[in-house]
A and B are shown apart, each in its own frame.
Chain A
């Protein structure tokens, strides 16, 4: 069964169609990269997957079920900025997801439950290579380290879907490269399904098992909002989740 099925999806704002006729089947474990010119609905599509918006027409199914109407722990997210909580240290940021799950009233764990949560969190922090900065606040971390933290935080609840909205867009090329290695490794280890929006074509083809390009196939010069973008190319790449060579 597909992890994600999109059926004849339309997204319209007053006086403007953003997305039209989107149909898509994505198998579990795929790494989909969404590329295309600015303003053609890639980010809107990601917001729809996150239930930040509701499609005007059509539906999105997650494991055959309609998407819940609001964001939840089944879908993790990393934004380009503001993805981590500035008032919490690295370890506090990561255990937060476990604390929400384990303590309804206080949202905070104590004693043995807290120790178990910290053990789990430490593993994820280790996996993203932040052990040395475990007790620092986000403002004390570099941009790349903040995004590592955001990824660790998103993975702690083991989401079915990881949504990345230009997560490396603000990083320098060297850091970006390290982040690519990291995300590929995590994707292989955790068998996770990823949707990633990027402007960087090379980045897209480096990471993806499948590249989806968004663009408008019809345009009306007198009414720029009359037609929406759709998926113009759907390119499966050779790489399989199992082979690590790239």
Chain B
């Protein structure tokens, strides 16, 4: 009974209950305040009630837009995910190539790591105007913003993970007759891939940030575009479900990447470190 606080753990049911607690508090608090405001003024737009959410969700996600004939939520989701996927794909490939090269080959490290260290300090949002000028206002500049925003982090993180690999393994590979290329292909790459998935997981937050910022400034569709468009009408009943939807998408992507690691790298699970 008198165990220290640090030694007392919730059991499985307790963990679920404790985990659900803040969600329930937030939801209950929202609807209490919403009901209070709506009782004062039935036309209040700031904290809409369930009925307006239902109507807005139906309008955005299940009904065709009268002007374009498209279902807006799906159109926006598709547009945003396409930009995000392209940005992440390009950043991943660049991060992998330059991260491994920087981590493995001393000459590449000497040549590139100071440059990348400086590059990663440039606030990506500050060069967004440049991207708009150079790449125009359409898709390319948004993808490039994501790439510019997360690639330096990916390169540095992966180069560090390569550096963390025990030097003994690289020596051992050489005593087995491996060339630099073979070491990269058979030793470094397979051990770095699960770390890559982790690095991408950490980059998802910034990637979404850059995507929504770029869409807010110049776009004709996309989740970020819609939210900022709806702000003009104070349409909280649309904005809040959109935010929840974006959060769900981000959460799912994180979950898929975690699953990918567990599924494809059985050797990680048992590793001591």
Per DSSP, chain B at the interface is: helix
Interfacial chain A residues near B166, Cβ < 8 Å:
81-82
* A interface bracket (residues with beta carbon within 8 Å of B): 35 or more
* A79 close to chain B: CB less than 8 A: yes
* B191 close to chain A: CB less than 8 A: yes
Contacting pair A139 B272 (CB below 8 A): yes
* A63 close to chain B: CB less than 8 A: no
- Which of B176, B181, B270, B271 has most A Cβ within 10 Å? B176
* A133 close to chain B: CB less than 8 A: no
Contacting pair B271 A86 (CB below 8 A): yes
Q: Which of A79, A83, A100, A153 is B182 in contact with, Cβ under 8 Å?
A: A100
Question: In A206-226, which residues have CB < 8 Å from any B CB?
Answer: none
* A169 close to chain B: CB less than 8 A: no
Q: Which of A52, A140, A156 is B270 in contact with, Cβ under 8 Å?
A: A140
Interfacial chain B residues near A227, Cβ < 8 Å:
none
Question: In A95-124, which residues have CB < 8 Å from any B CB?
Answer: 96-97, 99-101, 104-108
A156 to B174, alpha carbons, bound, how many Å?
A: 13
Contacting pair B168 A159 (CB below 8 A): no
A180 to B179, alpha carbons, bound, how many Å?
A: 33
Q: Can you list, as one digit per residue, whether each of B247-273 has a CB less than 8 Å from chain A (1) or not (0)? A: 000000000000000000111001110
Q: Can you list, as one digit per residue, whether each of A68-108 has a CB less than 8 Å from chain B (1) or not (0)? A: 00111101110101111111100000001101110011111
Considering only CB atoms, which chain A residue lies closest to B273 in the complex?
A86
* A128 close to chain B: CB less than 8 A: no
Spell out A's residues near B (CB within 8 Å): 50, 52, 70-73, 75-77, 79, 81-88, 96-97, 99-101, 104-108, 137-140, 153-154, 156-157, 159
Q: Which 3 A-B pairs have the closest CB atoms?
A: A139-B270, A73-B177, A82-B166
A-B contact pairs, 6 of them (CB 8 A): A73-B176, A75-B175, A137-B266, A137-B270, A154-B172, A159-B175
